[in-house]
Amino acid sequence: MNALSAFTLWTQKNRWIWAAIGVLLLWLVLSVVTNRFSLSSLSGIILSASFLTVVGIGQMFVVTTGRGNIDLSVASVITLSAFVALLTIKGQDANLAIGVAAAVLLGLAVGLLNSLLVVGLGIPAIIATLATGYVLATATLLSNRAIPGFAVSPALKDLATGRISGVPIMAIMAILGVAVASFVLRYTVFGQLLSAVGQNRTAARLAAINNGRVIAAAFIISSVLASLDGLLLGAYIGGAFLEMGQPYLLQSIAAVVLGGTLIFGGSATALGTLFASILLILIVTTMQIVGLPPGVQDIVQGIVVIFVLALAGDRRWRAAHRSIPRTPQRRRQSQAPPRPCRSDEHVTNDFSCQILVE
C-alpha cells in the first residue's frame, strides 16, 4: 500500500480532516488578504462557532438515525428558550437555576413531541419537526408580549461572554460537549445502537434493537441542546428577539454534513461538526468582509450544502454499485472463452472449451 492509498484510507475513517483543512486554508487566506486576522481574531470566530457547535451536535444525533432525518425545529427552540429565560430568570442570579430547569424542560417537551410525531405516528421527520417549529413560533410571539424587560443574569452573561486566559468559556464548553459526544458515539452502548439503527433499521430490529427508543432519544438530545444553546445565546446578545434562532437552522445541518457525518445515517463525527462550524463562521465572515448582502450569504451557504449533499449521494451510489456481487450470468456476459469453441466442443463454467462426450 503506497502513501496515497494509506492517506485515502485514513481520511475515509477520519472525515473531519477535510473541514479542519478548510478552516486552516481559509484562515490563512483571510490573514494574508486582510492583514488583520490573528489568533486573537480566530478566538472570536471560535466563540461564535461555539453556539453553532452546540446545536450542531444535537442535529448530528438526529441525522445519524438515518432515512434523511433532520430536526427543523431547532431554530424555534433556540428563540423560544431565550424568551423563556427572560421570563424565568428576570435578570437575577437567584433565579438562574429555575431558568436552566425551564430550558431543559422545554427541550424535553419538544423532543418528546417530535418523537411522538416521528416514531409514534410515522410522520416524516422533516414535516413533523417543521410543524413543531410553527407551533413554537406562535408560543414565541405570545412570550414576546409577556416579557417584562431584557435584563440578563450577570452569572449567565459571564458564562456566555467570559474568557479564561484569553480562551472563551463558551468555546471550552463546546469542546467539552464535542468530547462527550465523541465518547458516547464510540464507547457507549447507545452510540453503537445509534449507528446500527442508522445503517440498517431492519437488521437492527432483527437484532432485538428498539429502533423507536433510539430515534426518540436522538430527537430529545437535539431539542435539549438547542434549548440550552438558546439560553446561552440570549445571554450573549443581551436579550431575545424574534427569529434569532433562524440562522442556525441551515447552518446546523451544514455543520453536520460538512463535518463528515453521513447524511444517510449510520456514521457521525462530533469533531467534524466542531471544525465545520468554525469553517461556516469563517465563510460568513469572508462574505461580510466582501460586502455581500445577507440574502446572498444565505444563497451561498445553501449552495455549499447542496454541493456537499450531492457529493455524498454520488459516493453512496458508487459504493452501492461496487458492493453488488456479480452473478455468474453477468460474469459470463463480461467474459469470453480464450478461443472460439468448435462444433464438437462446448463452453464450461470456467469458460474453457471441452469436447462433447456422447
The answer, yes or no, to whether residue 281 has pLDDT greater than 50, is: yes
Q: What percent of the chain has pLDDT over 70?
A: 83
Which H/E stretch holds residue 346? strand 345-347
The answer, yes or no, to whether residue 293 has pLDDT greater than 90, is: no
Q: Work out the mean pLDDT of the chain and round it to a whole number.
A: 83
Closest CA to 316 of 199, 192, 185: 199
Q: Which residue has the higher pLDDT, 218 or 41?
A: 218
Confidence (pLDDT) at 333:
46
Q: Residue 312 — very low, low, confident or very high, per pLDDT cuts 50/70/90?
A: low
Classify burial at 104, counting beta carbons within 10 Å of its beta carbon; exposed 0-12, middle 13-18, buried 19 or more. middle
The answer, yes or no, to whether residue 216 has pLDDT greater than 90, is: yes
Q: Is residue 206 part of a domain?
A: yes
Q: Which residue has the higher pLDDT, 290 or 244?
A: 244
Q: List the domain range (segments joined by +) for residue 341.
A: 331-358
Same domain, 200 and 299: yes
pLDDT digits (tens, 9 = 90+) for 249-274: 888 998 998 888 888 888 899 999 99
pLDDT digits (tens, 9 = 90+) for 172-181: 999 999 999 9
**Among the listed ranges 46-60, 169-183, 276-290, which one has the minimum average pLDDT value?**
276-290
Confidence (pLDDT) at 78:
95
Q: Residue 352 — very low, low, confident or very high, per pLDDT cuts 50/70/90?
A: low
Same domain, 186 and 222: yes
Q: Is residue 235 part of a domain?
A: yes
* DSSP code at position 335: -
Q: Residue 19 — very low, low, confident or very high, per pLDDT cuts 50/70/90?
A: confident
Give the integer Cα–Cα distance in Å for 69 and 67. 6
Q: Is residue 2 part of a domain?
A: no
Q: Is residue 17 part of a domain?
A: no
Confidence (pLDDT) at 348:
56
Confidence (pLDDT) at 323:
44
Confidence (pLDDT) at 318:
54
Same domain, 313 and 342: no
Same domain, 157 and 300: yes
Same domain, 335 and 269: no
Same domain, 182 and 40: yes
Same domain, 317 and 335: no
Same domain, 297 and 335: no
Same domain, 271 and 344: no
Q: Which residue has the higher pLDDT, 137 or 316?
A: 137
Q: Is residue 10 part of a domain?
A: no
Per-residue pLDDT, averaged over 46-71, amounts to 93
Same domain, 319 and 336: no
Q: Residue 5 — very low, low, confident or very high, per pLDDT cuts 50/70/90?
A: confident
Same domain, 160 and 93: yes
Same domain, 45 and 178: yes
The answer, yes or no, to whether residue 131 has pLDDT greater than 90, is: yes
Q: Is residue 276 part of a domain?
A: yes
Long-range contacts from 196-203, C-beta under 8 angstroms, 24+ separation: 196/266, 197/65, 197/66, 197/265, 198/64, 198/65, 198/66, 198/262, 198/264, 198/265, 198/266, 198/267, 199/66, 199/265, 199/266, 199/267, 200/266, 201/66, 201/67
Q: Is residue 113 part of a domain?
A: yes
Which H/E stretch holds residue 345? strand 345-347
pLDDT digits (tens, 9 = 90+) for 313-327: 555 545 444 544 555
Confidence (pLDDT) at 314:
52
* Torsion sign (Cα): 344, 348, 351, 353: negative
Number of compact structural domains in the chain: 2
Confidence (pLDDT) at 116:
95
The answer, yes or no, to whether residue 162 has pLDDT greater than 50, is: yes
Q: Is residue 9 part of a domain?
A: no
